[in-house]
Structure 1
Amino acid sequence: MCAALLHASDASLLCCAENSDSLDNLEESPSHSRGSAAVQETSDGNDVFSNQQDERDFGDHAGFFQGEGSADYREVLLAMEAKEKDFMPCWEKVDAQGEGMLEHRSRVVTCMQDLCRKLRFGDSTFFAAVNLLDRFLSVHAVKDDLRVLFPLIGIACVSIAAKMAEVHIPSLRSLQALMGPNLPFNAQHIQRTEMGILSSLGWAVNCITPYTVLAYVVKQKCAERPDREGLALAVFQEAVQQLRTSVLGKEYLVRSATESARACVALAFEGALEANAQQRQANDDGAIKRNREGFETGAYPNKRARSPTTPLCSQWLF
C-alpha cells in the first residue's frame, strides 16, 4: 500500500528532481543555535545516539540579554517583521482541507516535538520544522487517502530543519528507526519527501519563526527595566514554554511570527513580574521574621531582650 501511495500521481508532492544542490537563501541566523546531539555509527553499521547532554539551554540568550546594544536589536526586529510574511503559512488554504486537517497537524507536530526532544535538537530546529510543515500544507492539499503520509512529511521537515541548525545530523536510517516499526517507510522515502518539500517551498528554508524573533521581542519588552538582564532571561524561558504549547493551536497558524512571539512574551512578562513581587514579599517577610527572632532572643547585643510580658514593639529602640 505504501509503495502505491508513494508512486501514485496524487502523491506527486513527494517527487522532484533530486540533483539540485543550491540553497539560494541559506544564511546564518544568530537565532539558529547549533545542536549537540551526536550520532555515532557502530562497526555493524547501526546508528546509535549518544547520551550527550544538551548544555545550551538558555546560555546563548543570557549573553544576548546582557549586551548593551542600543538600537541594534530594534533594527533587526524591524527587518524580521518586514520579511516574516514571506514565511507565513496560509491558514485559509490549510483550513480548506477539511475539519480533520488541524487534528492531523496537531498530532504530527506533537510527534515532531517528541523527535526533536529525543535527538536533543534546539528549539530553533523544532519551530523551523513546524514552519516548513505549515507552509507545505499551504501549497499542497493532502487528500484523505494520503494522510497516512503525515508522519513521513513531519519527519522530513525535521530532517531539513536539522540540516540548517544542528551540528550533528542523524542519518536517514536513524530517523527511520525512530519512526517506529509500524510505519512502512524507509530512508529513501524520507529523502524523496525532503526533496519534494524543498521543491514545493522554492528552497526557502531559512525561515523566520516566532522563536527566531522571540529573544529580540523579550529584549525590547524588558529594555527599560532596571533588572532587565535577569528579568529578560526569566521572561524568555517562560515565553518559550508558551510557544511550545501554542504551536498546536489554530492561532499559531493565523498569527505572524512576531505576533505569536509578542503574545507569548506578554503572558510571560506578566508572570515574571508577579513571581518577582512574590519573591520580594517572601524576602521581606523573612527579614522581618529574622529581626523579630533576634530581638526576642537577645541576638542583637545592643537591644534588651524582651520579657514574656513586654510588647514586642517596645523593644524596637534605636
Structure 2
Amino acid sequence: MADEKSFECAAPELLCNDKTKNVFHDDDDFVDPFIGLMIEREKEYLPKIDYLRKLRSGELDISVRRDAFEWISKAHAEYNFGAICFCLAMNYLDRFLSVYDFPTGKTWAIQLVAVACLSLAAKMEEIEVPSTVDLQVGEPKFVFEGKTIQKMELLILGILKWKMQAYTPCSFIDHFLEKINDDEHPSGPLITRSIQLIMNTIKGIDFLEFRPSEIAAAVAIHVSGEIQATNIDKALSGIMLVEKERVMKCLELIQDLTTISGTSAASNVPQSPNGVLEVTCLSYKSDETTVESCLNSSHTKRRRLDHQL
C-alpha cells in the first residue's frame, strides 16, 4: 500500500520546491495551494470533537490510551519504524477510541486494538512489514492469532470509514521549517529535532486540542529558535491558514513540555467504502486459554490492501 501515489498528499518533499511561494511570507494575495488543501482536509482525520473532554473528565478511561501508547512505542522501536508510522498508529487509535463504544472489563481488547492500529499504519507507510503475529513484541500479556488481528483491522477500517491517509505534524514540518528559515532547506539536525519533539507531544492528551498543522507550526518555531515575540510575529506574518493564537498556545505547551520533562527538542525518543465486513467473533489466546468476544459492525465490501498479510 505504500506506493508512490499514496504519498502525494503526505510527503512534504512532493509539495515544496524552489518556486513554491509560502504561507509564512508576506503575500496576502497568495496561499500555497497544496498546504492550503492539506490544512483544509486535515480536520477530516481528527478524533471526535468531544474526545479530549471525555478523557479529561474520566468519561473515557485515559489508562486505555496510555497502555496502547506504551505498547505501540515499544513495538515501533523494536522494528525501527519511521515517525510517520508512529503518528499514524496513534491517529488511528485516537479516532477509533473517540467513536467506538469500547467494551468495559476487556483488558485484552485495548492490546488487540493497539496491535491492529500499528499493523495498519505499517501497511500504509513501511516498505517491509512483519506479520501481524510477529508484531506482538515485548512479552505481551496476550498473544493474538493473525486472523484475529485482521478482523480487528477490518473493524477499525470500517469505524474510520477507510480514511487512512491521515495528515500528521510530519506532513507539514518540512515545509514550515523551510518557510520560517527564509526558504532555506532545513538541515538534517533541525528536521531530526523537530520529528523527535513531534513524537514527544503524542504521549500526553493536551496536544489533542490542536490540529497537526498547528503542532507543526509551533514545533518549527520552537526548534528554529524563533522564541522572541518579534521573531514569532515575523515567522507568522502573512499566515492565513494557521491561526496565530492557537499556534502560540501550542508553542507554550511545547515549551512547558521540554521544561517540565527536563528534555529538549534534541532528546531521544524511543525508537474507501463506508462500513466494514461483518466481524462476528474475535478470539485471542492467553497462555492456553482462548477467549472469544463478539464485535458487531456493518457489512461492506473490503478493498484489497497491497501489503495484505
Gaps of 5+ in 2: 24-31, 229-309
Displacement of 1:104 in angstroms is 2.5
1:240 to 192, 195, 207: 195
**Structure 1 residues 251-308: Cα deviation after superposition (integer angstroms, max 9, x where no partner):** 22111111111122221111899xxxxxxxxxxxxxxxxxxxxxxxxxxxxxxxxxxx
CA distance in 2, matches of 1:272, 1:254: 21
Sort the Cα spacing of 1:184 and 1:70 in 2 relative to 1 into closer, same or farther, 3 A: closer
Verify the 8 A CA contact 2:113 2:152 in the aligned structure 1: yes
CA distance in 2, matches of 1:260, 1:269: 14
Letter of the 2:210 counterpart = R
CA RMSD of aligned residues (A): 3.0
Verify the 8 A CA contact 2:15 2:34 in the aligned structure 1: no
Displacement of 1:71 in angstroms is 2.1
CA distance in 1, matches of 2:127, 2:227: 33
Verify the 8 A CA contact 2:108 2:142 in the aligned structure 1: no
1:199 to 158, 162, 170: 158
Verify the 8 A CA contact 1:94 1:137 in the aligned structure 2: no
Displacement of 1:112 in angstroms is 0.8
**Structure 1 residues 41-96: Cα deviation after superposition (integer angstroms, max 9, x where no partner):** xxxxxxxxxxxxxxxxxxx96x998x423227933211110100000112523542
Q: Does 1:183 align with 2:142?
A: yes
Sort the Cα spacing of 1:203 and 1:234 in 2 relative to 1 into closer, same or farther, 3 A: same
Verify the 8 A CA contact 1:32 1:125 in the aligned structure 2: no
2:34 to 38, 51, 76: 76
Partner of 1:212: 171
**Structure 1 residues 5-33: Cα deviation after superposition (integer angstroms, max 9, x where no partner):** xxxxxxxxxxxxxxxxxx9xx95115767
CA distance in 1, matches of 2:212, 2:87: 10
Partner of 1:253: 208
Partner of 1:153: 113
Partner of 2:84: 124
Q: Does 1:144 align with 2:94?
A: no
Bigger radius of gyration among the two: 1
Sort the Cα spacing of 1:212 and 1:238 in 2 relative to 1 into closer, same or farther, 3 A: same
**Matches for 1:1-318 after TM superposition, within 5 Å:** 28-30=6-8, 67-71=17-21, 74-93=32-51, 95-96=53-54, 99=58, 101-176=61-136, 178=137, 180=139, 182-224=141-183, 228-229=184-185, 231-270=186-225
**Structure 1 residues 215-256: Cα deviation after superposition (integer angstroms, max 9, x where no partner):** 1222222235xxx33x55443221111111110112221111
Q: How many residues align?
A: 216
Give the TM-score normalised by structure 1: 0.60
CA distance in 1, matches of 2:98, 2:192: 30
Partner of 1:4: none
Partner of 1:289: none
Displacement of 1:184 in angstroms is 4.2
Letter of the 2:191 counterpart = F
Structure 2 residue matching 1:264: 3-state secondary structure: helix
Structure 1 residue matching 2:106: 3-state secondary structure: helix
Verify the 8 A CA contact 2:52 2:209 in the aligned structure 1: no
Displacement of 1:182 in angstroms is 2.6
Give the TM-score normalised by structure 2: 0.62
Letter of the 2:71 counterpart = C
CA distance in 1, matches of 2:71, 2:100: 21
Verify the 8 A CA contact 1:243 1:264 in the aligned structure 2: yes
Verify the 8 A CA contact 1:128 1:209 in the aligned structure 2: yes
CA distance in 1, matches of 2:15, 2:153: 33
